[in-house]
Chain A
């Protein structure tokens, strides 16, 4: 068995999610090869070669792969992937974009966002926004899988010494082109990747009051999220929404402030390691999942918390 892992990168550095994906590959067992598809991504391939447990790095360096457009990268992965038992990618926006296209090209079903490896062909994944866990078996010749990063502890980024091999194949479908990108300039970490998330709900009363959460988040190096109620009330934009129809997070620490804990919200955060709830209603359902609950007025508790951490 040989497993192909698609590296997550920006042509400069290897994204941390790649380390979690290699960890999942290690659990399946067999040689692990990493594909770096990009443009001017030599440094990424060098870094990938140092990841513990990686046997070989394939570097497909071509202008067609500069922005990892799925129309160009998927045919490459499908072509290379035919010789592998598994193709794995992190369930990031990139991985989710490319891998189903690879699976369809190989005429196999994909298994999305696995959280554990039961055996080489059997995996667990959450369905119904985490309200049920399905055990899925694949009899596909090539098993195409995306990996939920929070389900696997990352392997070490150093310690390996794999060989880097150039791949000549260039696929340019010519049906899509990159126009531009606008990356958020916030110093706060990205919501789905943050180690600490501070979220506000309807209890925040208005958008301006979120400044209290931003202050706390900046002190903790945390990302700021929101419940659907806060988004629907127009307090904050909906890209901050944590929940079934928003973003699914599993940080080390999740602080829910003024959030009652509707199931739609719990679905997006209940895999967090430690959950803290601050709410003045002691009957709020959020206290049923919170490791630490504080019944208090958030407008007093949050500034005090900010001072103490």
Chain B
């Protein structure tokens, strides 16, 4: 079966981002960019499904600027077969991305779509669920285990306080949580091979999708700084402060 994986180019998780002085957003000029960590887990899961003989083809898709080709090449080096870039220079909302992915799903007809549970830049945690709603598919969000049998998929999900397993009819949407797997590294020969794999570029216009949004970001500020704390000299003093000054224990 065909598996579609969505990946996002985001600021690397090790980078400490800075808010722009004019409060229009976060300064991303000359900042290291990477594949969103949850998307890496999504790619890894698709590759493992292929290695098990369950998946026959892995198509990786990204919606973003032309530089997102780097992340698609990374996914190809990790084992994806071909890539699609829906090129858009604008900052799109989750709903717009979900609509674009829906158009790609209609075109490619995958049996399974895997996304990360959230991107570490917008922290929305929406796209997978929205794509599921738009395509009318079942959704297995925050997956820690994915097992395909016949025409259904059993997804074990991380929920508050434990784990829940649901069974979804295929085609279905799965979003990955941290526990799903440990992503591999791309080897140099695979990075070289990935350069030759096909990468198709599309635009929202070509897909006939409007990316208009009902949300507007008015400003972006730095979070309030914490006031400086104090150093205590002993455990006894710490306990005394927590009990009588902070009153938290």
B119 to chain A minimum Cβ distance, whole angstroms, is 10
Chain A interface size range = 35 or more
The residue from A104, A192, A292, A296 contacting B134, defined by CB atoms under 8 A apart: A104
Q: Does A290 contact B (CB under 8 A)?
A: yes
Chain B contributes a number of interface residues (CB within 8 A of A) equal to: 78
B249 within 8 A of A: yes
Bound-state Cα–Cα, A182 to B159, Å? 10
Q: Contacts A252-B248, A276-B238: A131 and B217 contacting too (C-beta < 8 A)?
A: no
Chain B residues, Cβ within 8 Å of A220: 249
In chain A, residues 96-145, which have Cβ atoms closer than 8 Å to a Cβ of chain B? 96-105, 107-113, 122, 125-140
Q: Which candidate, A80-88, A160-168, A172-180, A206-214, is the interface stretch facing chain B?
A: A172-180
B29 — which chain A residues lie within 8 A by C-beta?
none
B213 near A109 with CB under 8 A, answer yes
Contact A295 B162 (CB under 8 A): no
Contact B160 A137 (CB under 8 A): no
Contact of B129 among A97, A128, A179, A294 (CB under 8 A): A97
Residues of B within 8 A of A289 (CB): 226, 229
Q: CB within 8 Å of A: which of B158-197?
A: 158-169, 172, 178-179
Residues from chain B with Cβ under 8 Å of A292 in the complex: 229-232, 238, 241-242, 246
- Expressed in whole angstroms, the minimum distance between the Cβ of A14 and any Cβ of chain B is 14
- What CA separation (Å) do A105 and B133 show in the bound complex? 6
Q: B93 to chain A: which residues have CB within 8 Å?
A: 109
Quick check: B246 and A103 within 8 Å, CB to CB? Answer: no
Q: Which stretch (A23-31, A40-48, A57-65, A233-241) binds chain B? A: A233-241
Q: Is the CB of A133 within 8 A of B94?
A: no
Max count, chain B CB within 10 A of own CB: residue among A112, A132, A273, A301: A132
| Interface membership of A152, Cβ < 8 A | no
Chain B residues with CB below 8 A from A110, complex form: 94-95, 124, 126, 130
B221 lies within 8 A of A132 (CB): yes
Once A177-B166, A305-B239 are accepted as A-B contacts, the answer to whether A263 and B132 lie under 8 Å apart by CB is no
User: Smallest Cβ distance from B227 to chain A, in angstroms?
Assistant: 8
Interface pairs (10), CB distance under 8 Å:
A70-B141, A94-B160, A103-B95, A104-B95, A104-B133, A110-B95, A239-B178, A245-B37, A263-B14, A305-B239
